[in-house]
Amino acid sequence: MCGIAGRFHARRLPPAPEWCSRADALLAHRGPDGCGQYRDAHCELVHRRLALIDLSPTGHQPMSNEDASIHVVFNGEIYNHRALRAELQGRGHVFRGTSDTEVLVHLYEELGERMAPRLRGIFAFAIYDRPRRRLLLARDRFGVKPLFYTVHDGQWVFASEIKAIAALPSFQPRLDRQACYDFLGLGYVPEPATGFANVQALAKGSTLVIDPEGHRGAEFHSVRASPDGSRTLADAVEAASVALLDAVACQSVADVPVAGLLSGGIDSSLVVAARERATGGPTTTFNVRFPDRSHDETARARAVATQYGTRHVTVDLSDGALQTEAILDLLRHFDQPFADTSLIPTYWISRAVRDQGIICTLSGDGGDEGFGGYPLFWRANALLRLTRLPAWATRAAMAVGDGLARWTRDWGRQASKAAWLARASRSEAAVLIAGLSNYLTESQKEELVCADAREGLRPVYRHYNGDHPSPVSSLEALSRQLTESQFALSLPSQMLRKVDMMSMRASIEVRVPLLDEDIVTLGLTLPHRLKTDGRRGKRVLRALASRWLPAAVARHGKRGFSIPLDVMAPRGFHTALEDLLLGPDARTRGWIATALPRQWLGGFRRAQQGHHAGTMSREGLYRRLVSLLALELW
């Protein structure tokens, strides 16, 4: 894993003498093991290296072919590079080293812009074809590796992080009001938007070619759920076992030690188990211990580590990790608004891994999307039943839920929301999916954002096929839409963005075996009945866990990686929230109406004393406040 950046103009690159060194410095955390640059009249390339494969100078980037007509900068890992290398050598290509990067150079010589579908792995790269004055950008199928770009003064500028683009002299980022409005409900900016109107994310599974004739984009992969009704649980479990062992074996290959992030949940535990079964080699594993027992899974992580004989390290969040300025600093690092509080433990466990001298890990991310691991999958069963009730019954359920919300911790709020979603989804499935995926409804966003500031902005439903409204037709159809929306929106824009930004800030690589192409393909064939029984998700992975893992781990329910910020944050954080959001210098003044933030801040303070009843969940409350904070800091 590395950091890349570059500029390209098919006719002549405008001067920017300081940009190369500034971009290099801004991306240094992504690659502390080396740096490299290339420049000619049309192209400038910047690379920061985190050395995992071929640690010798032959792995140095930018890398070229024999006659220096093709140059590449690459971030990621190509897991089938050995097979591709053998094929290319059979065609007469000569290799100087053993890195996977060198495969890209020669594969481009063979296939040009059609090369991306041949790659199995996680990648973002740029290839400069000097004779043709052509630049090729490409990004992996699921968006594991980031790549952003802009067009400025006729040149195309790209980078692994937006800060390197913004370092270009005379470049002025422009606010994307629609992206910020979407962010308030989602807690992240949905790709390809970034929060800046003049910066985009290269879409996952796509390429972009720029040459003297212009530019053209192409999609080489799209996620489409195709449930196979003939599948049985037994055959799906067997297929998952084979695919996971193969993926972990491929992703355990490196010229440095490969560790495991072991949260104590099913997904990361299965990856650790597969690593032992596939390689038999010693593994170091890590987990984070939370002082709030309702969020801590240390006992389960240790049970898996004991069963598989790993060298296990439990990381305690230090007092400094939750100091106000430390939290604010992590939020500022994202280059765009981002509100998932699990970024905090993600960064600190990455730091702990690096402090142990390890720079490469396997994680359990990506299993929930394909195998139905999120609560929205099993809630869909009950919601579909509610849609069949007469209108008067759903109205009554909403009234009862609203009445109980003030006196119950979750039940009243959830009942009211479920009834509202069921009623709304009779005409539009997108409304139901958006309601399950957003922390704020459209009416709540209207109450939060001043009327002038939201004029002309569209509701978030369009991201869930809302441009083509259709009612919920069946549970299977709804499940298919839920799956595809997870891969389209939250996976690349939230989960993978968080892991990339926080792990690379600590200068480590995180690999994701559950997003191996074959594993995802299997997940996309699962009918809804093999995803959930209506009470819990991931039936296939749970069944595999019952074979491979301690019973207490296999039976345990879904637990995310977020932290109980309401009780763990210091009192100074509450004060900083109030000063930043409601103070006279707040940058969001004139955009955000202050009545709701004041109400939320009061609830956040009361939560420190254990009072959580009300019309929103405990996590929903601090997620709302962190969303406003992230927007203010950005």
Residue with tokens 């390197």: 164
Confirm whether 554 is domain-assigned. yes
At 399, the pLDDT band (50, 70, 90 cuts) reads very low
Helix then strand count (H, E) for the chain reads: 25, 17
Which is it for strands 63-64 and 70-78: parallel, antiparallel or unpaired? Answer: antiparallel
The two tokens of residue 579 are: 């000063």
Structure tokens at 57: 């100078």
* AA identity, residue 174: R
Check residue 497 and give its pLDDT: 98
**Are 276 and 177 in a shared domain?**
no
Q: What is the pLDDT of residue 547?
A: 97
- Indicate the SS3 state at residue 314: strand
- Does residue 615 share a domain with residue 555? no
Question: ∠ CA(417), CA(560), CA(515), 5° rounding?
Answer: 110
Distance CA(402)–CA(54), nearest Å, equals: 61
Average pLDDT score over residue span 146-154: 97
Q: Residue 454 and residue 458: Cα distance in Å, rounded? A: 9
pLDDT of 482 > 50? The answer is: yes
Of 507, 553, 557, nearest in space to 537 by CA: 557
631 near 588, Cβ under 8 Å? yes
Kindly state whether residue 437 falls inside one of the protein's structural domains.
Answer: no
Q: How far apart are CA 182 and CA 197, in angstroms?
A: 14
Task: Specify which residues 43 forms β-bridges with.
Answer: 8
pLDDT band at 379 (very low <50, low <70, confident <90, very high): confident
Residue pLDDT, tens place only, 170-203: 899 999 999 999 999 999 999 999 999 999 999 9
DSSP secondary structure letters along 42-86 = SEEEEEEE---S--SGGG-SSEE-TTS-EEEEEEEEETTHHHHHH
140: Cα separation from own chain's centroid: 13
For CA atoms 623, 626, 628, 634, the dihedral sign is negative
Q: How many CB atoms lie within 10 A of CB 233?
A: 14
Position 424, amino acid: A
Asked whether residue 247 falls in the same domain as residue 119, the answer is no
Place of tokens 């812009």: 113
- Per-residue pLDDT, 605: 80
Q: What are the backbone angles phi and psi of residue 207, rounded to the nearest 5°? A: -125, 160
Q: What angle do CA 272, 276, 282 make, to 5 degrees?
A: 100
Instruction: Verify that 331 and 300 share a domain, yes or no.
Output: yes
pLDDT digits (tens, 9 = 90+) for 483-496: 999 999 999 999 99
CA distance 496 to 55: 26
Which tokens in the block code for residue 622? 């601090």
| Tokens at 455, concatenated | 């004029």
Is 335 domain-assigned? yes
Question: How many alpha carbons lie under 13 Å from residue 238 in its C-beta half-sphere?
Answer: 5
Domain boundary pick from 219, 246, 262: 219
Q: Is the pLDDT of residue 408 over 70?
A: no
pLDDT of residue 390: 57
Q: Residue 386: pLDDT above 80?
A: no
> Do 206 and 300 have their domain in common?
no
Question: Which of 194, 219, 244 represents a domain boundary (last residue)?
Answer: 219
Q: Is 394 part of any domain?
A: no
pLDDT band at 407 (very low <50, low <70, confident <90, very high): very low
Statement to judge: residues 199 and 317 lie in one domain: no
pLDDT tens, position by position, 293-309: 666 788 999 999 999 99
Give the pairing type, strands 134-139 and 206-211.
antiparallel
**Total number of domains in the chain:** 3
Amino acid at 504: M
Residue that wins the pLDDT comparison between 422 and 392: 422
Q: Which two tokens stand for residue 98?
A: 């053993």
Vertex 334: Cα angle to 602 and 330 (nearest 5) = 60
| Residue 615, SS3 per DSSP | coil
pLDDT in tens, 320-371: 677 899 999 999 999 999 999 999 989 999 999 999 999 999 999 999 999 9
User: Over the stretch 19-64, which tens digit does the pLDDT of each residue have?
Assistant: 999 999 999 999 999 999 999 999 999 999 999 988 888 999 999 9
- In a shared domain, residues 292 and 351: yes
Confidence of residue 589 (pLDDT cuts 50, 70, 90): confident
Residue 173 sits in a domain whose CATH number is: 3.60.20.10
191 and 303 co-located in one domain: no
Based on the fold, state whether residues 111 and 257 are members of the same structural domain. no
How far is Cα 547 from Cα 532, in angstroms, rounded to an integer?
Answer: 18
Tokens representing 495 are 């989960």
Helices 375-387 and 411-424 pack at an angle, to 10 degrees, of 60
Nearest-5° Cα angle at 483, 178 to 386: 90
Residue 387 lies in a domain: no
pLDDT score recorded for residue 619 = 75
| Cα 435 from Cα 461, distance rounded (Å) | 9
Instruction: Look at residue 396 and tell me if it is in a domain.
Output: no
Residues 246 and 332 in one domain: yes
End-to-end CA gap in the chain: 26
Length of the chain: 634
Q: Which has the higher per-residue pLDDT, 423 or 399?
A: 423
- Please check whether residues 43 and 139 belong to one and the same domain: yes
The answer to whether residue 428 scores a pLDDT higher than 50 is yes
Q: Range of 284's domain?
A: 233-372+490-562
Helix/strand/coil for 348? helix
Average pLDDT, the chain: 89
The secondary structure of 455-515 as a DSSP string is TTPPPGGGGGTTTS------HHHHHHHHHHHIIIIIIIIIIHHHHHHHHHHTT-EEE-GGG
CA distance 455 to 287: 46
The Cβ of residue 81 has, within 10 Å, a number of other Cβ atoms equal to: 23
Asked, for residue 160, whether it belongs to a domain, the answer is yes
| 140 in the same domain as 12 | yes
Q: Which tens digits make up the pLDDT trace of 83-131?
A: 999 999 999 999 999 999 999 999 999 999 999 999 999 999 999 999 9
Q: Residue 420: inside a domain, yes or no?
A: no
Domain boundary among 516, 533, 562: 562
Spatial distance between the Cα atoms of 62 and 35, rounded to a whole number of angstroms? 9
CA angle 211, 212, 215 (to 5 degrees): 45
Which helix (H) or strand (E) segment holds residue 306: the answer is helix 298-308
CA–CA gap between residue 609 and residue 499 (Å, rounded): 31
- Residue 394 DSSP SS3: helix
